[in-house]
């Protein structure tokens, strides 16, 4: 049975309020050390499912050039990012697109409480935007994961480097500590995608 978007978002927001005074060790720790962001190497073709999502919900894909390209991290903002990642991961239930929608790939905000990787990240971005963070600095990103399968994460671009929000872990990690191969992400300039050229982290290089 489907439930409303308001109810799903409300559940996540209530969980955030409930845990704001007892955040995890990562969220109350000092800010992470600065690191190099992942570099773009050119243009990339978007996924058909993303194009369909943007046609249905253009506001979720718009790029406002007046917004900053990176987020200036403070302890409060860092805690918000970590908390949203954790609470969405624990609130949304995993369900493949085939079981959910009867198709191989479908992007959407998980308003019924179910979704797969990209749906988790779209909800996280929506909540972070509602918290006051710039959408332009938070880019949907396609990677190859530890199973050599395609996977979607949310790349949060900050003044201290690029950090990854992922439904596979409650820890928000620097991009190079995930072990993923970075294929492409949304552009920060137009409604399009850019190539990351198969950028790999030291972890990936050491294990492949």
Here the tokens at position 13 are: 């927001």
Q: What is the pLDDT of residue 10?
A: 63
Domain contains 109: yes
Domain contains 33: no
Nearest to 179, CA basis, from 170, 187, 168, 188: 168
Nearest to 117, CA basis, from 131, 106, 132: 106
Domain contains 162: yes
Round to whole Å and give the CA distance between 1 and 67.
38
Domain contains 12: no
Domain contains 124: yes
Round to whole Å and give the CA distance between 122 and 115.
10
Round to whole Å and give the CA distance between 98 and 106.
9
Q: Phi then psi for 196, rounded to 5 degrees?
A: -105, 5
Q: What is the pLDDT of residues 131-144, one digit of tens each?
A: 999 999 999 999 99
Nearest to 59, CA basis, from 156, 148, 129: 129
Q: What is the pLDDT of residue 32?
A: 82
Q: What is the pLDDT of residue 196?
A: 98
Q: What is the DSSP string of 121-168?
A: HHHHHHHHHHTT--GGGEEEEEEE-TTS-EEEEEEEEETTEEEEEETT
Stretches in the chain below the pLDDT threshold 50? 1-4, 17, 19-23, 27-28, 203-208
The domain containing residue 140 runs over which residues? Answer: 46-174
Q: What is the pLDDT of residues 78-121, one digit of tens each?
A: 999 999 999 999 999 999 999 999 999 999 999 999 999 999 99
Question: Does residue 164 contact residue 175 with C-beta atoms inside 8 Å?
Answer: yes
Q: What is the pLDDT of residue 9?
A: 61
The mean pLDDT value of the chain amounts to: 88
Cα of 180 vs its chain's centroid, Å: 14
Question: Does residue 127 contact residue 10 with C-beta atoms inside 8 Å?
Answer: no
Domain contains 62: yes
Based on the structure, what is the number of domains in the chain?
A: 1
Domain contains 198: no
Question: Does residue 140 contact residue 46 with C-beta atoms inside 8 Å?
Answer: no
Q: What is the pLDDT of residue 101?
A: 96
Please give the share of the chain, as a percent, with pLDDT higher than 70. 82
Domain contains 166: yes
Round to whole Å and give the CA distance between 19 and 121.
20
CATH of the domain at 110: 3.10.620.30
């Amino acid at each position: 049975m489907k439930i409303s978007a308001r109810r799903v978002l409300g559940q996540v927001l209530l969980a955030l309020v409930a845990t704001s005074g007892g955040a995890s060790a990562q969220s109350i720790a000092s800010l992470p050390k600065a690191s190099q962001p992942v570099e773009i190497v050119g243009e990339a073709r978007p996924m058909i499912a993303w194009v369909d999502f943007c046609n249905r919900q253009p506001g979720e894909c718009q790029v406002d050039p007046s917004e900053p390209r990176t987020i200036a991290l403070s302890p409060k903002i860092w805690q918000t990012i970590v908390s949203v990642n954790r609470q969405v991961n624990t609130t949304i239930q995993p369900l493949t697109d085939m079981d959910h929608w009867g198709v191989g790939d479908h992007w959407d905000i998980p308003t019924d409480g179910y979704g797969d990787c990209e749906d988790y990240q779209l909800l996280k971005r929506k909540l972070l935007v509602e918290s006051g963070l710039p959408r332009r600095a938070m880019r949907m990103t396609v990677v190859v994961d530890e199973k050599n399968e395609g996977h979607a994460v949310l790349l949060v671009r900050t003044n201290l480097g690029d950090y990854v929000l992922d439904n596979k872990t409650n820890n928000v990690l620097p991009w190079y500590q995930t072990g993923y191969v970075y294929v492409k992400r949304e552009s920060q300039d137009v409604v399009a995608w850019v190539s990351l050229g198969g950028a790999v982290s030291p972890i990936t290089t050491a294990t492949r």
